[in-house]
Amino acid sequence: MSSIVLGVGASHSTLMNTHWDEVADEPGAIDFRAGLAAARDELAQARPDTVVIIGSNHFRGMFLDLMPAITVGVGEVLGAGEAKTPEGRLPADPELARHLVDTLSEDFDPAFSLRMQVDHGITHSYQHLVPSLDVPIVPVVVNMFAPPLPSLRRCHALGAAIGRAIRADGRDKRVAVIASGGLSHRLPWPKWYETLSDDDRFLVEAWLEGRNSWQEYEVRRRQIIRAAEADINPEFDRRFLAALETGDLSEFVGLSAEQVDEEAGNGAQEIRSWVAMAAAVGPAQSTTHAYAPIAQWLTGMAVASLRPAS
């Protein structure tokens, strides 16, 4: 029987990689970096054989020509390498990945990929929490940007199912579960069926046509993001982290995608990964290592760890 030895939640933003100098003296950014370091140390002490990373994809591996709700990488895992994130083949654990797909298929309909390209929605946390990139990963990508999205309630159930599958895989492995994404933020991204500007139409074209050419769209896409005004809701974020510490996420599991969008922004849909991670870990002691609304990165940046109850 394998065991879950640690859960970690970490916000991501590629602006952290590319625009660190702009905030190098900002206390919030320094705290977030320190929080990542604390979680990285905890992860090292937990000595996982594999990390399951639940996160999003920003149209560099999944595109509008086919958008599964849930996809598990069961073969090669390739980092897209955008914005100084890991590029190329990453160590994988196909055996655990196939076990997850087989088990989840009892109640879900997960897609799978034998050659899965993941972007910073998966690789950012891996880069900063496992900097030597030497622990095999199982990526679980949940659709968090192309509506309709799987509900938060379903993501909670998915996480619980992932936890049961890990504990029943019979390999006697130590497994950590990482949630990558959120918290509150609003990206200048349209709903794919509601384009109101030239930038909107460009983005949707990139998301539809970019499967073999996503790099060609990166320059303008980056310009659009860099031009956006920050829209962060610290009150929402702190409420979410407090709920994580109590182990009661019922308030958030009950939110619709529209309610999340309205209160905390379209980027906050990524709390799905945190909800799933917490459900996978189960009863736990949660510690918030850092939280800061960092306008320059457009995002409420948090790091937390969950140590499973013994």
Give the residue numbers annotated as catalytic, written as ranges: 120, 185
Containing H/E element for 85?
A: none
- Per the DSSP assignment, residues forming a β-bridge with 142 are 70
Show Cβ contacts of residue 104 under 8 Å, excluding neighbours closer than 6 positions.
Answer: 70, 72, 110, 158, 161, 162, 165
149: left (phi over 0), alpha (psi -120 to 50) or beta: beta
* In contact, 42 and 155? CB cutoff 8 Å: no
- Per the DSSP assignment, residues forming a β-bridge with 306 are 7, 286
Q: Which two tokens stand for residue 290?
A: 């850092």
Give CA–CA dist 95/85, Å, rounded: 25
Give CA–CA dist 232/238, Å, rounded: 11
Give CA–CA dist 287/274, Å, rounded: 14
Three-state DSSP at 37 gives helix
Give alpha helix (H) positions in 139-197.
Answer: 152-167
